[in-house]
Amino acid sequence: MNDYLPKDELEPEKDPKRPSNMRLGIWLVVGAIGLYLVVSGIWGLVTGG
């Protein structure tokens, strides 16, 4: 393909402020668990359980 171009010109620059995919996945899981706890707590208060 474009073998004559330097490698750094072929790949887009990575944003140094962007979190890694692993950290993003961990935050999604933790956020989902927290959301579940909050919603189940509200549901328990509403239903009087």
- Per-residue pLDDT tens digits for 1-49: 556 777 777 777 777 788 899 999 999 999 999 999 999 999 999 998 7
Residue 29 inside a domain? The answer is yes
Residue 1 inside a domain? The answer is no
pTM score of the predicted model: 0.60
Residue 2 inside a domain? The answer is no
**Domain tally for the chain?**
1
- CA 15 to chain CA centroid, nearest Å: 15
- The domain of 31 spans 7-47
- Give pLDDT tens digits for 28-38: 999 999 999 99
Residue 23 inside a domain? The answer is yes
Residue 41 inside a domain? The answer is yes
Instruction: Indicate the burial class of 47 (C-beta count within 10 angstroms; 0-12, 13-18, 19 or more).
Output: exposed
Residue 22 inside a domain? The answer is yes
Residue 31 inside a domain? The answer is yes
